[in-house]
Amino acid sequence: MKTTVFKVLSFTAFIFLILNSFAFAQITSSSASGRNNSKPDQVTEAEARIRQITDDAGKSFKEGLLSLQDNRRSVAAEKFNKSVEVFLMSGINLTSKDNVRARDCYNQLIETIYRIEFPTDAQVPQIRGLSATCSWNIDNKLADDIATLVRPSLNKQNPSAGNIVTASAVNGIPSDEPQIGFNEQKFESSPLDELAKLELTEEEKEVVNTPEGQQQYYVIQTAIANKSFGFNFQMHPMVQQFIAYYRGRGRATMETGLYRSGMFMRMARRIFKEEGVPENVAWLGQVESAWKPTAMSWAAASGLWQFIPGTGARFGLRKTAYVDERNSFESATRASARYLKFLANRYGGNWELAMGAYNCGEGNVDRAIKRAGVANFWAAYPYLPQETRNYVPNILATILIANNPQSYGFGHVRPAPPLMYDQIRIPPSTSLNLIAQASDTSVQYLRYLNPELRTNMTPPEPYIVRVPAGKANEVVALFRRAPASKLSNSNLANSAAGETWQTISNRTGVSVADLMAANPGMQIPRGKVFVPQGNKVASTNYSRPTSPTASPVANSIKVVKAQAGDTVAKVAQRYGANATEVAKFNGLLPTSVLGAGREIKIPAK
């Protein structure tokens, strides 16, 4: 998918914003003058508070710019995140018409940080405009230096400008490409970039004329005729030539892909089957990304399935300041299956043309078909982009090898175990650090399990987060102990046997009263305890998703459906299970009333 779509800020809209703000200021001034320049104390206090919040955010944002200028990218990311968090933690309603200044400043802050992290020549970050909207004192030279620093075309011409860190410093691979963005979560190059330039050698081309090649051709044709792969395709010498490539100089690429496929292929097969797409077509993911969720191509295509922003949005993948669902495991996989099915229907069930269009877009394939005069990939082949000419036979070669690795010399490769995780629903703007503490893991691993998250905080909405397998019930039970309004800005501390609230207070600096308020019902410390810092995040109920998720205990539980009027205790009694254990396993109380049809998991005895 080579055509990149970018969201462009409307300059007219920006000017309109400024004019409106100016008009608002004039009206306020006139009204005040009519009241002898006096305002109610509440209004004055509210304006002062919003001004303070905006100024605090500006201070962190400026520190982020200075850190980025010094090439301290991880520090810059923290400062930019903090500038956003100032608004989120303030408790003010950013959608209210009463908070126009804060709302406009916040919205433009989000847009500017996004443009700094994912810069394009078409839309550079408007730091001067942000400074004017928020009334921040940011030097124009600093604003212009940062806009130049992140501009891709200037970086390519002079990678050393401004001490830019290149991809070679990140991945250990020689490259002239500058690092994209500033976050510690690095993107990896997509295999599609090399595929576009790949040229087969004469030896690889000649393999089809050997006795072994002719025998291989017959075997493959027989398998296709027997519908062994779940869909029909036309065998072509280029498919065998790519098999020869992978058996020779491309061996390491195939071995790596077959190994990494184990982490995601089970999920991909399930979702493709649910969407009515042949399961083997899911091997497209190996060619697209080598099964790397953080793969990104030169055209800003991202994730396992390499969606560009425009196509991702067409199939329901959100891209905001908080999440980029193109990098999600399940959401992007389902979007990919739906896009492929849409394309196959467009081309009368021809999956070769569908895969070609997935790569270069429907427009290019439509034009190639028109010039060829027939809806056949190999007839349209000469009129397609070079990358797409390599792309489709490459996928078909991958499918053939993956379905019979022993015959092609890859029988020694053992796929990696499926990536296991549980999922829980988390309240708005919850720190990943707190979730990591609760699930006995690191923020880095949580970011690995949730590559769609763009900061170390969940979005300002209830959000489903992946945690290490087997930890969901523990995390849910732990979080339920404290009011949700106390979670977002809290930490967890492990209490030792015999400790008191006073000893924990002594080592955390938090009063005994605050500790006990954050851990209601706990007379003495037990296990992990919450250490509050105070916040104003809205309350949200924690619950497990009803859809099945990967878990190592999946085969040792029974999933049942509640009847009208059931409680957890009634369901447990019906199946001869301990009510307390069932409640704990589902993150509920024994007395919790269940809706008819709700799924409840009964742990094995």
pLDDT score of 131: 92
DSSP H helices in 196-247: 202-206, 211-225, 237-247
Percentage of the residues of the chain whose pLDDT score is greater than 90:
30
pLDDT score of 9: 32
Beta strand residue intervals within 385-502, DSSP E: 421-426, 463-468, 491-494
CB 335 within 8 A of CB 312: yes
Does position 327 have pLDDT exceeding 80, yes or no? yes
Bigger pLDDT: 174 vs 388: 388
Mean pLDDT of 164-170: 27
Mean pLDDT of 49-53: 88
Mean pLDDT of 276-300: 88
The tokens describing 465, both together, are: 């987060």
Question: Would you put residue 415 in left (φ > 0), alpha (ψ -120 to 50) or beta?
Answer: beta
In degrees, rounded to 5, the angle at the alpha carbon of residue 6 between the alpha carbons of residues 120 and 174 is 40
Give catalytic status of residue 288 as yes or no: yes
Bigger pLDDT: 3 vs 272: 272
Task: Select from 388, 393, 398, 394 the least CA-distant residue to 280.
Answer: 398
Poorest-confidence range of 17-21, 198-202, 330-334? 17-21
pLDDT score of 546: 40
- Which residues, 6+ apart, have CB-to-CB distance to 428 below 8 Å? 458, 459, 460, 461, 462, 463, 488, 537, 538, 540
User: Among residues 288, 330, 387, 474, which one is catalytic?
Assistant: 288
CB 81 within 8 A of CB 2: no
Does position 474 have pLDDT exceeding 60, yes or no? yes
Does position 169 have pLDDT exceeding 60, yes or no? no
Bigger pLDDT: 258 vs 543: 258
Mean pLDDT of 541-560: 48
Residues listed for the chain: 605
At position 390, the amino acid (one-letter code) is N
pLDDT score of 498: 78
Helix (H, G, I), strand (E, B) or coil at 270: helix
The confidence band for 187, taking pLDDT boundaries of 50, 70 and 90, is: low
DSSP H helices in 89-226: 100-117, 127-134, 140-149, 152-157, 167-171, 191-195, 202-206, 211-225
pLDDT score of 153: 61
Task: Select from 298, 294, 283 the least CA-distant residue to 324.
Answer: 294
pLDDT score of 367: 95
Does position 22 have pLDDT exceeding 80, yes or no? no
Among positive and negative, which fits the CA dihedral 529, 534, 539, 544?
Answer: negative
Give the DSSP H or E segment for 476: helix 472-480
pLDDT score of 21: 37
pLDDT score of 584: 64
Bigger pLDDT: 192 vs 407: 407
Distance of alpha carbon 232 from alpha carbon 225, whole angstroms? 8
pLDDT score of 588: 62
Distance of alpha carbon 57 from alpha carbon 109, whole angstroms? 9
Distance of alpha carbon 157 from alpha carbon 285, whole angstroms? 32
Mean pLDDT of 256-266: 91
Does position 284 have pLDDT exceeding 90, yes or no? yes
Does position 32 have pLDDT exceeding 80, yes or no? no
pTM of the model: 0.59
Other CB atoms within 10 Å distance of the CB of residue 382: 10
Distance of alpha carbon 116 from alpha carbon 127, whole angstroms? 9
Distance of alpha carbon 457 from alpha carbon 212, whole angstroms? 56
Q: What is the mean pLDDT of the chain?
A: 78
pLDDT score of 18: 32
Distance of CA 460 to the CA centre of its chain: 15
Distance of alpha carbon 109 from alpha carbon 221, whole angstroms? 58
Residue linked to tokens 């301990």: 578
Does position 41 have pLDDT exceeding 70, yes or no? yes
Backbone φ and ψ of 281, nearest 5° = -65, -20
CA–CA distances in Å: residue 565 to residues 148, 584, 594: 64, 20, 7
Other CB atoms within 10 Å distance of the CB of residue 96: 10
Mean pLDDT of 366-391: 94
Bigger pLDDT: 507 vs 354: 354
Percentage of the residues of the chain whose pLDDT score is greater than 70:
76
pLDDT digits (tens, 9 = 90+) for 392-444: 999 999 999 999 999 999 988 888 888 899 999 988 888 888 898 888 888 88
Distance of alpha carbon 12 from alpha carbon 489, whole angstroms? 39
Does position 583 have pLDDT exceeding 60, yes or no? yes
CB 436 within 8 A of CB 446: yes
Poorest-confidence range of 243-247, 354-358, 531-535? 531-535
pLDDT digits (tens, 9 = 90+) for 70-122: 888 778 877 887 787 777 666 666 656 677 888 888 878 877 887 787 666 66
CA–CA distances in Å: residue 28 to residues 98, 136, 419: 13, 21, 58
Distance of alpha carbon 543 from alpha carbon 546, whole angstroms? 9
The tokens describing 356, both together, are: 């070609």
